[in-house]
Amino acid sequence: MSLDAQYFADLYASNDDPWAFRTRWYERRKRDLTLASLPRQCYERVFEPACANGELSVLLAERCADLLCQDIDATAVALARQRLAGVSHARVEQGHLPGDWPGGQFDLIVLSEIGYYLDPTDWLQVIEQSVASLTYDGGLLVCHWRHPIAGCPQDGREVHALLARHLPLYPLLRHEEADFLLEYWSCQPSVVDLDETCL
């Protein structure tokens, strides 16, 4: 069973940064690696579910023309909206995957630190929804902590193993460390960004 909204409400009840995204060097470095792993300078439309308090979101906004962020928790949504205030091409919605998957096509979907909160059935549905929502040259960036998390139905290794078995995409990048795994999958076998300017 996937974790419900109360799990995240409890995390945010006494802390607006429960994973220390703002303060931990580990998190800052991982964000930098995430952005450096994107093979294109600019994306037209990006979807980032599980955006938490928007620390990665504000950086993704610099790399795209349209950013849709989503989180299950109302506090996280409010914090991400504050973080993205003044960014006219970004919006944050409350929603729970896989049920609240947005419509339209995206040329980048970022699934960062989300898979282990979903059971394998829901995670497979998210994988299928991602593939169905990518543009012809779209990409899927996936990053997860590799160690087990108490109370979660999966760990990062299991999350990425299901991706490897079920994604009908080209694996363009894999960065593996002791603590996390970062992968970029593409609808095309190669992605070369010839545009020198961002949108």
The DSSP element (H or E) to which 181 belongs, if any, is strand 180-186
> What percent of the residues of the chain are helix, what percent strand, and what percent coil, each to the nearest 5?
35, 25, 40
Please check the confidence at residue 142 and state whether its pLDDT lies above 60: yes
Tally the C-alpha atoms within 13 A of residue 65's C-alpha that lie toward its C-beta: 10
CATH architecture of 5-186: 3-Layer(aba) Sandwich (3.40)
For tokens 């928790």, the residue is 73
128 vs 99: CA distance, rounded Å: 12
10-14, 100-104, 105-109, 153-157: which range is least confident on average?
A: 10-14
pTM score of the predicted model: 0.92
The pLDDT, as a whole number, for residue 193 is: 63
Three-class DSSP category at 6? helix
Q: Give the pLDDT band of residue 20 (cuts 50, 70, 90).
A: confident
The DSSP element (H or E) to which 96 belongs, if any, is none
Please check the confidence at residue 1 and state whether its pLDDT lies above 70: no
Tell me: the pLDDT tens digits for 88-107? 999 999 999 999 999 999 99
Burial of 4 (0-12, 13-18, 19+ CB in 10 A): exposed
Q: What mean pLDDT value characterizes the chain?
A: 92
Average pLDDT on 139-165 reads 94
